[in-house]
A and B are shown apart, each in its own frame.
Chain A
Amino acid sequence: MGLFDRFKKPSTADANQASDGVEADNTATETPATEPIETTPPVAEAVDTAEKPEPGSYRKVRVNPGRRGWGVGLVVAPEPGRDLIYSVTGGGIHPVAQRIADMTGGTPFDGFRSKADFSEIACAVIDCGGTARIGVYPMKGVLTIDIHGAMPSGPLMRFINEENFVSGSGVDNIEIVEE
């Protein structure tokens, strides 16, 4: 899967038209608006089977800030009934969310396609530049991982802290926490 595949949204005909329209224009202007900003991580590769927990069991991971990210890192620990890795990102499940799910045994979940209760969410993965989503999930008490290297900002900034937020994280910033 290439980077641009992430921007192809199969959910509705409208979304497809939208992506195609912009990409078509980009080729003309040579300034691709859909080019991911540089904090966007590479697409997740398959995790070694040795890293995957047994079905029905979970492992903890630490998600560290990226090189240009903010925060001290978060420990994500899915458990029964609270194992959704909630991706609220353009283009479907983000590779960082997929990687966290693969390593922890959590369930990847697309917040733009299905509904979930906050009580079911182990962490949220967002691609927010710093206005809206960056504050909503911390405000709701959800551990929040921003793949962009944003620092606390926006009208809900007061809810964002080192215990609930980390940013700039890519697939290489996730590590197993040994028990």
Chain B
Amino acid sequence: MVEIGGSNPKYATEVTSVGEMAKDFAAEGMLVFFGPQAPDELHDIAIITGPSPLVGVVAPGDILNVDGARFRISGVGDRANANIAELGHLVVKLNGLAETELPGDVSVEPGELPVLEPGIVIQILKGL
């Protein structure tokens, strides 16, 4: 598990690959993550991350940290926590919604995304 400064993240992992289509989705305000066991066909469309446990339930008000860029989580779909725990699967939408569009979504306040590349760290931190 990746250790980065800050107070005990609920989730912390490192990007290992970024699919070509995943970059297109990011440009549309959508990040699709899958853990290391994702089959090959998902590597094109997803940002693949290392193995990492989910150690706390993600909730609105928490902070998503993408390589130092911080986004406040506005809404968490009913399936989102199970997806992260089971598959390392996280769908982030930069739409600022409190009620997510889909049950797997984690909605965050819009903002500027950093360059997505292998080695960057993804964290979810408890909100203040």
Contact = CB atoms under 8 A, between A and B. Distances in A.
Interface in B82-105: 82-87, 89, 91, 102-105
Interface in B23-48: 24-25, 28, 30, 32, 34, 37-42, 44-46
Interface string A120-153: 0000000011111101110010000000101001
Given A33-B80, A132-B32, A7 B86 contact: yes
B39 A115 contact: yes
B57 A140 contact: no
A97 to B, nearest CB: 14
Interface of B: 21, 24-25, 28, 30, 32, 34, 37-42, 44-46, 51-57, 77-87, 89, 91, 102-105
Interface of A: 7, 9, 11-12, 14-15, 17-19, 21-22, 25-26, 29, 33-35, 37, 88, 90-91, 111-113, 115, 118, 128-133, 135-137, 140, 148, 150, 153, 155-156
B53 A25 contact: no
Contacts of B32: 131-132
Contacts of B91: 129, 131-132
A25 B83 contact: no
Given A129-B105, A131-B104, A140 B86 contact: no
B53 to A, nearest CB: 4
Given A131-B102, A136-B45, A155 B30 contact: yes
Contacts, number: 106
Given A34-B81, A131-B102, A21 B87 contact: no
A136 B28 contact: no
B103 A112 contact: no
17 contacts: A15-B53, A18-B85, A18-B86, A21-B53, A21-B54, A21-B55, A21-B56, A22-B54, A22-B82, A25-B57, A29-B57, A90-B86, A128-B104, A129-B102, A131-B30, A136-B45, A155-B24
A37 B89 CA distance: 16
Contact of B79 (A25, A37, A155): A37
B105 to A, nearest CB: 7
Contacts of A113: 37
A67 B30 CA distance: 29
A112 B87 contact: yes
Contact of B86 (A91, A132, A136): A91
B102 to A, nearest CB: 4
A132 B78 contact: no
B104 A129 contact: yes
Tell me which of B24, B25, B52, B86 has the highest count of chain A C-beta atoms within 10 A of its own C-beta: B86
Contacts of A34: 81-82, 85
B57 A14 contact: no
Contacts of A111: 39
B77 A22 contact: no
